[in-house]
Amino acid sequence: MTEISSGDARERLAAVRAEVAKAVVGQDAAVSGLLVALLCGGHVLMEGVPGVAKTLLVRTLAAALSVDTRRVQFTPDLMPGDITGSMVIDSNCGELSFREGPIFTNLLLADEINRTPPKTQSALLEAMEEGQVSVDGVSRQLPRPFLVAATQNPVEYEGTYPLPEAQLDRFLLKVVLPIPDREAELEILHRHASGFDPRDVAGAGVTAVAGADDIDAGRRAVAAVQVSPEVTGYIVDIARATRESPSLSLGVSPRGATALLRSARAWAWLTGRDFVTPDDVKALAHATLVHRLGLRPEAELEGVDVAQVLASALGSVPVPR
């Protein structure tokens, strides 16, 4: 079997964007975030109002990458076993056997993750951190690649269970899917008027242009991307600046700093370089760090926004030359 080169993997993963654009309009940042997470072995929390193509985006990405995807609608009555799988009696032999849950896939869309209780949310922790699930004392490996793309609605808070810090920290990136601008929305309506069916990704002309082998090759290449001491120092100083902010009760942990390093490396490789620049760090800082920060109650009362605090912390750190 011929080993895929770094250049070939990058070219094929870049082609994924064009395939996704055949079905999804105006969400380039979200596509970039999902590709970065795949290259880092991380996960993505997607936030956006209903109707901005979160589900369509994940389905289309899976089709363009030729990997399996499943969707779980998180509800208040969802149980951990509904996600991970459970032991059931085999009617043929009368013995207990394991029935896999929907988590045994490559891309899991965890829709409205904050509508299910913490007990069920925590069922994802082991899977997201270790790529396995443990049921009845037995650990079972998940397919590779494995990515959780979880969604939450920023508007409807009634009947929701906010994700705890430990759960949020497992997401490499938080990506906000905005309402498209006027030109993008006109294009969406034009496509629907021309017969586009969002339930039929293949009908939109989306084809597989990359696969799991390309992701593996990309991961090996990302691991070889060089990071200078000046850039690692820049990342540490950003993390420390958030911890010293008077508006924050929770700053960026060392895990958050390493997440920023990983995502900056992946972004550098995707853009055609084998070294990380401070601009790569700045480009990924918001998506990698914003969900790891906690505002003080008094700052919330004053209407302070977490993104503003992060921007201020970034601005206070000298950029290495």
Summarised one tens digit per residue, pLDDT across range 192-236 is 998 888 888 888 888 999 998 999 999 999 999 999 999 999 999
Do 152 and 275 lie in a common domain?
no
Do 141 and 265 lie in a common domain?
no
- The answer to whether residue 279 is domain-embedded is yes
Question: Average pLDDT in the 66-95 region?
Answer: 85
- The answer to whether residue 46 is domain-embedded is yes
Which of 94-98, 181-185, 285-289 is most confident?
285-289
Considering the chain, what percentage of its residues have pLDDT values greater than 70?
A: 98
- Residue 38 confidence (pLDDT): 94
Kindly report each contact of residues 300-304 with a partner whose C-beta sits within 8 Å and lies 24 or more positions away, as own/partner: 304/247
- CATH value at residue 290: 1.10.8.80
- CATH value at residue 126: 3.40.50.300
Do 87 and 178 lie in a common domain?
yes
- The answer to whether residue 265 is domain-embedded is yes
- Residue 242 confidence (pLDDT): 94
- Residue 196 confidence (pLDDT): 87
Tell me how far apart the alpha carbons of residues 142 and 45 are, in angstroms, rounded to a whole number: 20
89, burial (CB in 10 Å: exposed 0-12, middle 13-18, buried 19+): exposed
Do 70 and 122 lie in a common domain?
yes
- Residue 54 confidence (pLDDT): 86
- The answer to whether residue 73 is domain-embedded is yes
CB 238 within 8 A of CB 252: yes
Closest C-alpha to 64, from 10, 16, 12: 16
Q: What is the mean pLDDT of the chain?
A: 89
278 Cβ neighbours under 8 A, 6+ residues apart: 231, 234, 319, 320
Do 128 and 154 lie in a common domain?
yes
Assess whether pLDDT exceeds 80 at residue 56: yes
Backbone angles phi, psi at 103, to 5 degrees: -70, -15
- Residue 159 confidence (pLDDT): 63
Tell me how far apart the alpha carbons of residues 267 and 256 are, in angstroms, rounded to a whole number: 16
- Residue 32 confidence (pLDDT): 92
- Residue 202 confidence (pLDDT): 83
Do 125 and 244 lie in a common domain?
no
- Residue 205 confidence (pLDDT): 87
- Residue 158 confidence (pLDDT): 61
Tens digit of pLDDT for each residue in 154-182?
755 666 777 878 788 889 999 988 888 89
Assess whether pLDDT exceeds 70 at residue 126: yes
Longest dimension (CA), the chain: 68
Do 295 and 254 lie in a common domain?
yes
Do 247 and 172 lie in a common domain?
no
Tens digit of pLDDT for each residue in 107-117?
999 988 888 88
- Residue 157 confidence (pLDDT): 60
- The answer to whether residue 96 is domain-embedded is yes
Residue 267 binned pLDDT confidence (cut-offs 50, 70, 90) = very high
Do 179 and 237 lie in a common domain?
no
CB 304 within 8 A of CB 218: no
Rounded to two decimals, what is the model's pTM?
Answer: 0.90
- Residue 224 confidence (pLDDT): 94
**CA dihedral over 32, 35, 157, 52, signed as positive or negative:** positive
Residue 125 binned pLDDT confidence (cut-offs 50, 70, 90) = confident
Look up the domain containing 292 and give its range.
225-316
- The answer to whether residue 215 is domain-embedded is no
- Residue 2 confidence (pLDDT): 63
Report the helix count and the strand count for the chain, using DSSP H and E: 14, 11
Chosen domain end from 146, 179, 209: 209
Do 168 and 307 lie in a common domain?
no
Structural domains of the chain, count: 2
Do 23 and 124 lie in a common domain?
yes
Chosen domain end from 161, 179, 209: 209
Do 249 and 186 lie in a common domain?
no
Question: Average pLDDT in the 26-38 region?
Answer: 91
